[in-house]
A and B are shown apart, each in its own frame.
Chain A
Amino acid sequence: MKAITRQKSFEEIKQQLDGFNRVFIIGCGTCTTMTKTGGIEQVLEMKSQLQKIDKLVSGWTVIPIACDEMSEVAMKENERAIQNSNCALIMSCALGVHRISTYIDRPVIPALDTMFIGVEDTPGYFREVCAQCGQCIIGETAGICPITACHKGLVNGPCGGTNNGKCEVDKEKDCAWTLIYERLKAQNRLDLMRKYQPPHNFQASPRPRTVKIS
């Protein structure tokens, strides 16, 4: 399971760095290293790009797990270089950016957009399978979440845009309901597809979502 990220355009990064001449760059050794959006290589590439537009890179680091509380230690270790910067450009997912923002007094600038939490199906191919909606129905849909896997998040069967097992929105993407149908049929459980699913409770866990484990 990985946070899937995509690097913002350099134009947007440049715009966000407007007025900040001294930059400290932070990468992450976990998800963004795996997805090649914020590992050592990408951090060094960013460093050289920033230098080309006359930014001073006061230092850089790749934290093992940016979203973890251990990031505080990494920030302490780099205290001097961070103090020597106007901002931190962060090449982790937004969870890491948030975590780091609580440990440093410099403005944090995300270099990446966080897309989704994905699982790796085949090497290098990540797919979103759960929307963390707080109301799981995959016991009735053969383990495939229609809220996530169907473009429209339909819970009562396919729409009219289903097209030979593919989705009308993207011919490369599978129709979630064809997959669910095929699995339920193979399990001899098609009766589940005939069951009416009531409207989703979008406030099952109202935002902002928190939990306290005692």
Chain B
Amino acid sequence: MVSSFKEVLNSGKFVITSEVAPPKGTNLEKTLHHIELLKDKVDAINVTDHQSSVMRFPSIGGCLAIKEMGGEPILQMTCRDRNRLALQAELLFASTRGINNVLCLTGDAVPVGDHKEAKGVFDLDSLQLLKTVRLMESGQDLGGNELDGAVEFCAGATVTPEAQPLEPQLIKFEKKIEAGAEFFQTQGIYDLDNFAKFMGHARQFPVKILAGIILLSSARMAKFMTANVPGIFVPQSMIDELAATPKEEMLNKGIEIAGRMIAALKKDSICDGVHIMAIGKEEVVPDILAAAGF
């Protein structure tokens, strides 16, 4: 079954994806509310996989909920918690349940999360997981055995356009494309000139690039991310713009900035779409879209 997300990706339309985080516990109320808010406003919704190595309800569970609610899920799969047997099993399961999009990630390191003594698995890496998806589509598994029923996925990956040094990141980006990535959702970007330069390089490859848009909810958050999150760089002018805003208006300013960036990316056809990460403030994603003119 061809994923409807794949059709959108190839339609030439400016693609919009966003993401929801599953709960820590069995109370799905908030996650389901976010899915309800987003499912008709975006082309697909990612479900994070124990993001920041924090144990939660599984990504596949969130994806099933999206399917049940009539949305289009993107299954985020990291290599941190499962070996190659478990990863392949989950791909089989996802495929049988109409979850046809997968984002292949290496995964954050264990010590950044809330189970600091756990074993980081990393039996495969993001590239090898992409290759595994393509192998399983051909009807084989990693052990060289024949599958009784193959999978079919629209497979994606991530790239960090602001990584320093950049060249190793670009080499891995190209390896991911060779391994079978059809689309990329980038790490959060803020400097559109830098991003346009990255796109100048990326355009030569037959892949769709969705720029990562992380909502800035305060000047403090912008400063913190620039100082602490690898590959995130918020220009000083943007931090100043937030800092000059009264505290109670800061979130609205963040929404305005995100909307402005999305509009600019679309207007100048810099990339193929955006992936909006509101990080705990998913309820304002429709406002970001409105601010962007959608």
**Measuring CB to CB, which residues of chain A are less than 8 angstroms from any residue of chain B?**
151-165, 168-169, 177-178, 181, 185, 190, 193-194, 196, 198-200, 202
Contact = CB atoms under 8 A, between A and B. Distances in A.
Interface in B139-163: 142, 158, 160, 163
B164 interface: yes
A169 B165 contact: no
A153 B120 CA distance: 10
Contact of A181 (B111, B122, B168, B187): B168
Interface stretch (B63-71, B91-99, B125-133, B191-199): B125-133
B168 A164 contact: no
Contacts of B122: 152-154
A178 B174 CA distance: 17
Nearest to B178: A196
B175 interface: yes
A160 B163 contact: yes
Chain B, interface size category, equals 35 or more
Contacts of B108: 161, 168
A163 B231 contact: yes
B172 interface: yes
Nearest to B159: A160
Nearest to A182: B165
A190 B106 contact: no
Contacts of B1: none
A16 to B, nearest CB: 20
A157 B172 contact: yes
B179 interface: yes
22 contacts: A151-B120, A152-B120, A154-B106, A156-B126, A156-B128, A156-B172, A157-B172, A157-B175, A158-B169, A160-B230, A160-B231, A161-B109, A162-B168, A162-B230, A163-B164, A164-B164, A165-B164, A169-B112, A181-B167, A196-B131, A196-B175, A198-B128
B84 interface: yes
Contacts of A202: 123
Given A169-B112, A178-B165, A181-B168, A194 B127 contact: no
Contacts of B207: none
A158 B57 CA distance: 28
Contacts of A181: 165, 167-168, 171
A148 to B, nearest CB: 13
A190 B171 contact: yes
Interface string B98-128: 0000000011110110000000101111111
Given A156-B125, A194-B175, 7 more contacts: A152-B106, A153-B122, A157-B169, A157-B172, A160-B187, A196-B178, A200-B123
B214 to A, nearest CB: 13
Contacts of B124: 199
B78 to A, nearest CB: 10
A150 B26 CA distance: 35
B142 A199 contact: yes
Contact of A157 (B107, B112, B131, B171): B171
Contacts of B127: 156-157, 196
A158 B172 contact: yes
B128 A168 contact: no
A196 B178 CA distance: 9
A163 B230 contact: yes
A160 B106 contact: yes
Given A156-B128, A193-B168, A193-B171, A151 B163 contact: no
Interface in B22-50: none
A160 B112 CA distance: 14
Contact of B230 (A151, A153, A168, A177): A168
Contact of B174 (A160, A165, A168, A194): A194
Q: Could you say which of B165, B174, B179, B231 has the most chain A C-beta atoms within 10 Å of its C-beta? A: B165
A164 B164 CA distance: 5
